[in-house]
Amino acid sequence: GEDVEQSLFLSVREGDSSVINCTYTDSSSTYLYWYKQEPGAGLQLLTYIFSNMDMKQDQRLTVLLNKKDKHLSLRIADTQTGDSAIYFCAESIVTNDMRFGAGTRLTVKP
């Protein structure tokens, strides 16, 4: 099984908030990341959080980290159709060998 787990699909209405969840297994993870991938494109770094932080906010994005439960979430406020994409959660420990989840496909309906 994968070390990083995410649900595969999420569908929301335009203007609503989206919450994408992720669990990871390595308590030694130092950085946790959220990447966005649109069709035919590479991965775009959205945001990241250090393992000693609980929360990070960046405009419409809010990342919450619960180290005890090894749970990471990404909240997108006022979701727009342009937010439709696949969102990957990733962890890294001490190297650039990052472990990715399978990705959550977010569909935003008008």
**Contact positions vs another protein (CB under 8 A):** 2, 30-31, 33, 35, 40-45, 48, 88, 92-103
| Burial class, 6, CB count within 10 angstroms (exposed 0-12 / middle 13-18 / buried 19+) | buried
Q: Output the smallest distance, CB 96 to another protein, in A.
A: 5
101 by DSSP, 3-state: which?
coil
Q: Let me know: does 16 contact 79? Beta carbons within 8 Å.
A: yes
Q: In whole angstroms, how close is the CB of 1 to another protein at the nearest point?
A: 12
Q: Which is nearer to another protein, 82 or 94 (CB)?
A: 94
- Which CB atom, from 46 or from 64, has the smaller least distance to another protein? 46
Q: Minimum distance between the CB of residue 21 and another protein, rounded to whole angstroms?
A: 17
Specify the 3-state DSSP secondary structure of 96.
coil
- Cα–Cα distance, 90 to 108 (Å, whole number): 23
